[in-house]
Structures are given as C-alpha cells and as structure tokens.
C-alpha cells in the first residue's frame, strides 16, 4: 500500500486547530471551502463540531457591563445601544453622532483591539466626538461593557465579527 499524503485541506485544518484559537471560528466555512475544490468524497474531511463561539455568557459580568454602559454610555449611544437619532448623518458641527453599539451600526466592523482603543482613547484626536475613557474606566470595565453590547448583537453578526477579529489577530 502506498503511503497516503494528507489532503491539503486536512493539513490546513489541522494546523489551524492546533493554534491557540481553535474554538472561535466557524470551522464549517473552512470545511465547505475545502469540500468544493478538493474534489474528494466528503468522508475525507474530518468531522468537527461547527461554530463554537466565545461570546461572553457570564451573567454577573454582563450585569456589570450593563451598569457601566448605563452610567457612562447610554446618554449618547442610547438606552439600548440603538445609537443617537440620525447617527449616520453628520451633525451641525460636521461630526457624526454616537452610532449604535447593538450590531446594527458599524461597531462589528472593528476588531476587539480597535473597539478597546476607541473606548480608551476616544476619537477627539481623529476629529470625532467620542470621549476618552482611560483613567475613568479600567481595562476590565471596558471589557465588561464590550461584552455587554456584544451580547446584544444578533448571532450572525457576532459570528462575522469573530471571524474578522480572528484574522485581525494573526
Ligand atoms: C458624549 C457622547 C458619548 C459618550 C458618553 C460615549 N460615546 Fe461612544 N461614541 C460617541 C461618538 C460621537 C462616536 C462616533 C465617533 C466618531 O465618529 O469619531 C462614538 C463611537 C464609539 C465607538 C465606535 C463605534 C463604531 O461603530 O465605530 C464605540 C465602540 C463607542 N463609542 C463605545 C462607547 C462606550 C463603551 C461608551 C461608554 C463607556 C461610550 N462610547 C460613550 C459618543 C459618545
């Protein structure tokens, strides 16, 4: 019997899974892509549980995030993170009002590092009206508030974000 070489997709998947971030990623996508051009029977691809995400579900942490949000962010971003009215149109000062953080704006286009940066530093230096929170909120406060607003995102939005965030960290 001749030795079998690993299917390239299997190899890619194996190295992907051995990396530090095995569970964040919708593995189904990778398998589906491989299934198409590999041309091998489906039995050749390993069976792996799909789409295990690391969304925060810890109720105490989310409750803390909600408190922090209400006390510091709701004024501009809306009680339910729905954003200011007309958030997509610049105000009289030419600056954009606070966008939604509930997954209906562009919050989910930014990787975790950018979300944290925006909250810590604000956008004053970039010509925007988002205040800086460093010195007022700790890193763990910021993580809690992000966890809270991410808990409001529809599942599909969160999945897309997790995929993009994953790529941004490589
Ligand atoms: C004084 C009003 C105000 C407060 C209070 C405020 N923000 Fe903002 N925030 C803004 C504005 C305005 C923007 C848009 C900034 C820009 O376009 O430069 C923004 C943008 C953001 C963004 C980027 C979103 C995106 O879609 O790009 C995040 C994340 C964010 N804010 C989180 C928070 C959090 C968390 C808090 C509370 C700790 C908070 N903000 C408090 C006004 C505010």
pTM above 0.85, yes or no: no
Query: Dihedral (C-alpha) 23, 24, 28, 31: value to the nearest 10 degrees?
Result: -70
Q: Which residue, chain included where needed, has tokens 């530093």?
A: 121
Q: Are residues 35 and 66 located together in one domain of the fold?
A: no
Q: Read off the DSSP letter of residue 40.
A: S
Q: Is 75's pLDDT higher than 80?
A: yes
Task: Indicate which atom in ligand 1 lies nearest the CA of residue 97.
Answer: 12
Per-residue pLDDT band for 53 (boundaries 50, 70, 90) equals: low
Cα 116 to Cα 139: distance, rounded to the nearest angstrom: 8
Q: Are residues 91 and 154 in the same domain?
A: yes
Q: Is the pLDDT of residue 17 over 50?
A: no
153 and 83 in a common domain: yes
- Under a CB-based contact definition with an 8 Å cutoff, are residues 154 and 103 in contact? yes
Answer yes or no: is 3 within a domain.
Answer: no
Mutate to test the pocket of ligand 1, among 93, 98, 134 (most ligand atoms within 8 A of CB): 98
Query: What CATH number is given to the structural domain containing 116?
Result: 1.10.760.10
- Residue 100 CA: nearest ligand 1 atom is 26
Task: Give a yes or no: residue 51 inside a domain.
Answer: no
Q: What is the tally of structural domains in the chain?
A: 2
Indicate whether residue 131 lines ligand 1 (CB < 6 A): yes
112 within ligand 1 shell (Cβ under 6 A): no
Residue 39 lies in a domain: yes
Four-CA torsion 138, 139, 143, 145, nearest 10 degrees: 30
Say whether both 33 and 64 belong to one domain: no
What's residue 34's pLDDT?
42
How far does the centroid of ligand 1 lie from the alpha carbon of residue 21, in Å?
29
From CA 44, how far away is CA 49, in angstroms rounded?
Answer: 16
- What's the token pair of residue 109? 């286009």
If asked whether residues 68 and 140 sit together in one domain, one would say yes
Whether residue 70 is found in the same domain as residue 143: yes
C-alpha to C-alpha distance for 17 and 59, rounded to whole angstroms = 29
C-alpha distances in Å from residue 23, one per residue of 5, 8, 107, 154, 165: 26, 21, 22, 19, 13
The Cα 38–Cα 55 span in angstroms is: 32
**Which residues span the domain enclosing 72?**
59-169
pLDDT tens-digit profile of 81-90? 999 999 999 9
Q: Assess whether 85 and 27 both reside in one domain.
A: no
Closest residue by Cα to atom 37, ligand 1, is 73
Does residue 54 lie in a domain region?
no
pLDDT at 124: 95
């Amino acid at each position: 019997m001749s030795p079998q070489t690993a299917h390239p997709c299997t190899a890619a998947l194996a190295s992907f899974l051995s990396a530090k971030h095995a569970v964040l990623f919708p593995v189904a996508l990778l398998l589906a892509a491989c299934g198409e051009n590999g041309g091998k029977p489906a039995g050749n691809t390993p069976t792996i549980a799909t789409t295990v995400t690391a969304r925060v579900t810890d109720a105490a942490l989310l409750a803390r995030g909600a408190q922090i949000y209400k006390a510091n962010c709701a004024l501009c971003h809306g009680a339910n993170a729905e954003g200011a009215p007309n958030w997509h149109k610049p105000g009289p000062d030419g600056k954009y009002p606070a966008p939604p953080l509930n997954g209906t704006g562009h919050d989910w286009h930014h990787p975790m590092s950018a979300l944290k940066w925006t909250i810590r530093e604000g956008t004053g230096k970039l010509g925007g009206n988002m205040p800086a929170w460093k010195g007022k909120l700790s890193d763990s406060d910021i993580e809690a508030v992000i966890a809270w607003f991410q808990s409001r995102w529809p599942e599909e939005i969160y999945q897309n974000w997790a995929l993009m965030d994953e790529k941004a960290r490589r």
